[in-house]
């Protein structure tokens, strides 16, 4: 009798575990499913909380004098904002994202700042002729399956990927990057950026353009879908 009772108890416990595992699996699916976002980069007014997901304009440098036809984006980290501000050039930008202080400087490939820890030298970035330039920095947190609207920039765009993966399709083809890597796109090329892989993609990016031009413009180009999704 004890053996029979024990077997019944084990069967009941086993059934309970199956139900629990089924619920956990369903919950995991719910956690990764979402309505795929068609993102465009926006400014969040001061004092308002930033949404959990999206593309956000976080800083801008205006009236930059960049004499070279191409520049490189020197990205470095510093222990404090004060340390970064102390060595920032007139064309540099300091932001705090992803738990770190970042200094961005723009110039020749061998013109890296003397201080800070080098993270990446990204480029070359091809500049369109202009008297002065505006650099708009963006920070994006997007989930797999999210993508940008099809658009064009009147200047080069670049990204440094903190986490996750992305795929860029332009009229010239497809390129991919993942955490610890960078990516660039030339000016006036229609594009669609897709978030690939299985984890949330976080990135720092920028566009350098003539102040007389908009940050981005919509395009009627139709991507081929080579990035998937």
pLDDT at 12 over 80: no
Instruction: Break the chain into its structural domains and give their ranges.
Output: 1-33, 34-218
Q: What percent of the chain has pLDDT over 70?
A: 85
Contact 163, 199 (CB under 8 A): yes
Q: Which pLDDT value is given to residue 68?
A: 85
| Eight-state DSSP code of residue 18 | H
Angle (CA) 33-41-211 rounded to 5° is: 170
Task: Note whether 152 and 190 are within 8 A (CB).
Answer: yes
pLDDT at 33: 53
Q: Give me the CATH code for the 34-218 domain, please.
A: 2.60.120.10
CA distance linking residue 85 with residue 69, whole number of Å: 27
Express each pLDDT in 118-175 by its tens digit: 999 999 999 999 999 999 999 999 999 999 999 999 999 999 999 999 999 999 999 9
pLDDT confidence tier of residue 34, bands split at 50, 70 and 90 = low
State how far the Cα of 34 lies from the Cα of 86, in Å rounded to an integer.
43
Residue that wins the pLDDT comparison between 17 and 172: 172
């Amino acid at each position: 009798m004890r053996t029979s009772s024990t077997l019944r108890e084990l069967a009941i416990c086993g059934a309970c575990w199956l139900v629990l595992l089924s619920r956990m699996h369903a919950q995991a699916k719910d956690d990764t499913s979402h309505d795929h976002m068609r993102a465009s980069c926006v400014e969040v007014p001061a004092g308002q909380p930033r949404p959990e997901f999206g593309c956000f304009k976080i800083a801008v440098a205006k009236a930059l004098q960049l004499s070279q036809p191409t520049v490189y984006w020197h990205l470095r980290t510093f222990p404090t904002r004060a340390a970064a501000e102390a060595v920032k050039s007139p064309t540099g930008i300091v932001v705090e994202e992803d738990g770190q202080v970042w200094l961005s400087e723009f110039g020749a490939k061998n013109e890296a700042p003397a201080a800070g820890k080098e993270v990446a030298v990204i480029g070359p970035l091809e500049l369109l002729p202009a008297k002065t330039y505006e650099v708009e920095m963006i920070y994006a947190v997007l989930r797999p399956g999210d993508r940008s609207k099809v658009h064009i920039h009147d200047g080069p765009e670049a990204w440094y990927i903190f986490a996750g993966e992305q795929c860029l399709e332009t009229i010239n083809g497809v390129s991919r990057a993942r955490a610890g890597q960078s990516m660039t796109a030339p000016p006036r090329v229609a594009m669609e950026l897709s978030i690939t892989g299985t984890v949330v993609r976080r990135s720092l990016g920028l566009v350098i353009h003539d102040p007389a031009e908009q940050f981005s413009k919509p395009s009627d180009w139709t991507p081929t879908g080579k990035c998937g999704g």
